[in-house]
């Protein structure tokens, strides 16, 4: 009897223990994972710092020029040539005039106020210059490969400010306008408000009161007077037809002299190519109709899409080089330009050549 009662007690205690354990050991409540923190997209160019600007000037000019200490502000930034890479415009003081006037400088000297293109232009010791360093890739003017530079005479005024193409159009409604490729620099020059802008491979000055449209040797868009009340902003207009930028013989010479990474493609026709003993130094020759098929093979298939490419031919209006540049753009290359005037202008400029 005692054993029976003891057995019942054990069973009762075991049942209570099991019930409590079942109550205590409930499945854990499901906790959904915390949402991942969204990546922050930064697409606004960071502000230029003085030490960075000084480094860029040193990279391009070495000891030939320095930032001008008496100008304020003495630098601005923007996408002045419209290639989606930030550029730097900085006011300079010549330090070594001999170096600034060297025979083959790694920069292009221009006077936007001059009617002609007298060359070579000489720089004086007491001049105040505006240098525009074109950016390269995502890092813009800070990139070590950003060395394409224009040195501009007679265009340093007061109150320099950067204006977008849209702002430029809005501010000049009803006036005859040029067709800048990127941002503009607004300033007061010798008492006259105006804009410095880049178009057709060089920098020009726009005075709203005296501007007269001139015939530009454009590729697809023939020049015409633009009236802001009848036109969309310039950037939107530029997107209507794929545009091929141009490069002058002097600009390309400067790039080669500066050992910049540029691929040159000779698309002269069979007769013109056969009649010549040379090509531009470092150029590859392809028939224009075969450019597309050649994209599958070296060297074109190995080129990065952001590599600068220059095409040239010997056509009267650069037709073949334009066609080749279009094909390359359609294949995804983002920095394609046509040598303005082609092989003829290269020979006139006494650019470096190599045997075929």
On whether residue 318 sits in a domain, the answer given is: yes
Q: Which residues pair with 264 in a beta bridge?
A: 310
- Say whether both 320 and 226 belong to one domain: no
On whether residue 168 sits in a domain, the answer given is: yes
Residue 286 CB contacts under 8 Å (≥ 6 apart), including other chains: 265, 266, 267, 294, 324
19, pLDDT greater than 80 = no
- Say whether both 193 and 261 belong to one domain: no
- Select from 143, 99, 106 the least CA-distant residue to 123: 99
User: pLDDT tens-digit profile of 282-300?
Assistant: 999 999 888 988 999 989 9
- Say whether both 266 and 178 belong to one domain: no
Domain boundary among 237, 259, 291: 237
As for how many domains the chain has, the answer is 2
Confidence of residue 22 (pLDDT cuts 50, 70, 90): very low
- Say whether both 54 and 198 belong to one domain: yes
- Say whether both 65 and 204 belong to one domain: yes
Residue for token pair 């950003």: 146
- Say whether both 193 and 290 belong to one domain: no
Q: Mean pLDDT over residues 265-276, rounded?
A: 86
Q: Which residues pair with 337 in a beta bridge?
A: 245, 310
Q: Which residues pair with 279 in a beta bridge?
A: 354
Which region holds residue 200: left if phi is over 0, alpha if psi is between -120 and 50, else beta?
Answer: left
CA triplet 311, 204, 240: central angle to 5 degrees?
55
Asked if the peptide bond before residue 98 counts as cis, ω within 30 degrees of 0, the response is no
167, pLDDT greater than 90 = yes
Q: Which residues pair with 202 in a beta bridge?
A: 199
Domain boundary among 237, 255, 270: 237
- Say whether both 208 and 187 belong to one domain: yes
Of the listed ranges 11-15, 258-262, 294-298, the least confidently predicted one is 11-15
Of the listed ranges 41-50, 137-146, 201-210, the least confidently predicted one is 41-50
- Select from 199, 190, 74 the least CA-distant residue to 129: 74
Tokens of 114: 């001059």
- Say whether both 134 and 108 belong to one domain: yes
Please give the model's pTM, rounded to 2 decimal places.
0.56
Q: Which residues pair with 311 in a beta bridge?
A: 265, 338
Residue for token pair 């005859």: 176
- Say whether both 194 and 213 belong to one domain: yes
- CATH number, domain containing residue 265: 3.40.250.10
User: Whole-number mean pLDDT of the chain?
Assistant: 81
Q: Are 201 and 248 in contact (CB under 8 A)?
A: yes
Q: Mean pLDDT over residues 99-113, rounded?
A: 87
122, pLDDT greater than 80 = yes
- Select from 127, 131, 129, 108 the least CA-distant residue to 119: 108
- Domain range holding 152? 50-237
Q: Which of helix, strand or coil describes residue 296?
A: coil
- Say whether both 68 and 87 belong to one domain: yes
Question: 268 exposed, middle or buried (CB, 10 Å; 0-12, 13-18, 19+)?
Answer: buried
Tokens of 53: 């600007």
pLDDT at residue number 64: 96
Question: d(Cα 352, Cα 179) in Å, to the nearest integer?
Answer: 32
pLDDT at residue number 153: 96
Question: d(Cα 331, Cα 68) in Å, to the nearest integer?
Answer: 44
Total residue length of the chain: 356
Confidence of residue 59 (pLDDT cuts 50, 70, 90): very high
pLDDT at residue number 156: 96
- Select from 188, 180, 143, 122 the least CA-distant residue to 306: 143
User: pLDDT tens-digit profile of 223-259?
Assistant: 333 333 333 443 443 343 346 889 999 999 999 999 9
Q: Are 89 and 131 in contact (CB under 8 A)?
A: yes
User: pLDDT tens-digit profile of 76-93?
Assistant: 999 998 888 999 999 999
Asked if the peptide bond before residue 318 counts as cis, ω within 30 degrees of 0, the response is no
Domain boundary among 237, 270, 303: 237
User: pLDDT tens-digit profile of 307-353?
Assistant: 999 999 998 788 899 989 999 998 989 999 999 999 999 999 999 99
214, pLDDT greater than 60 = no
């Amino acid at each position: 009897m005692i054993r029976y009662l003891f057995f019942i007690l054990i069973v009762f205690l075991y049942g209570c223990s099991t019930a409590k354990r079942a109550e205590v050991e409930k499945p854990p409540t499901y906790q959904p994972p915390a949402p991942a923190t969204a990546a922050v997209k930064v697409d606004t160019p960071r502000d230029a710092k003085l030490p960075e600007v000084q480094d860029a000037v040193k990279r391009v000019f070495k000891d030939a020029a320095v930032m001008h200490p008496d100008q304020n502000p003495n630098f601005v930034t923007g996408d002045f040539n419209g290639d989606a890479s930030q550029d730097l415009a900085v006011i300079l003081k010549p330090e070594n005039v001999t170096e600034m006037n060297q025979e083959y400088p790694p920069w292009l000297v221009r006077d936007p106020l001059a009617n002609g293109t007298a060359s070579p232009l000489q720089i004086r010791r007491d001049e105040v210059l505006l240098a525009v360093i074109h950016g390269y890739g995502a890092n813009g003017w800070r990139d070590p490969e950003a060395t394409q530079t224009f040195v501009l005479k007679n265009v340093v005024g007061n109150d320099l400010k950067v204006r977008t193409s849209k702002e430029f159009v809005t501010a000049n409604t009803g006036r005859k306008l040029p067709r800048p490729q990127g941002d503009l620099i607004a300033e007061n020059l010798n008492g006259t408000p105006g804009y410095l802008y880049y178009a057709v491979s060089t920098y020009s000055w726009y005075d709203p009161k005296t501007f007269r449209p001139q015939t530009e040797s454009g590729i697809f868009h023939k020049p015409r007077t633009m009236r802001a009340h009848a036109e969309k902003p310039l950037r939107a207009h530029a997107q209507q037809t794929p545009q091929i930028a141009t490069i002058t013989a002097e600009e390309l010479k400067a790039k080669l002299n500066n050992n910049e990474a540029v691929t040159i493609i000779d698309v002269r026709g069979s007769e013109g190519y056969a009649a010549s003993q040379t090509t531009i130094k470092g150029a590859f020759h392809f028939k224009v109709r075969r450019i597309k098929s050649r994209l599958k093979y070296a060297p074109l298939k190995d080129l990065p899409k952001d590599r600068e490419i220059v095409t040239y031919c010997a056509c009267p209006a650069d037709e073949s080089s334009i066609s080749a540049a279009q094909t390359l753009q359609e294949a995804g290359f983002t920095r394609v330009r046509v040598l303005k005037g082609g092989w003829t202008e290269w020979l006139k400029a006494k650019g470096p050549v190599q045997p075929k």
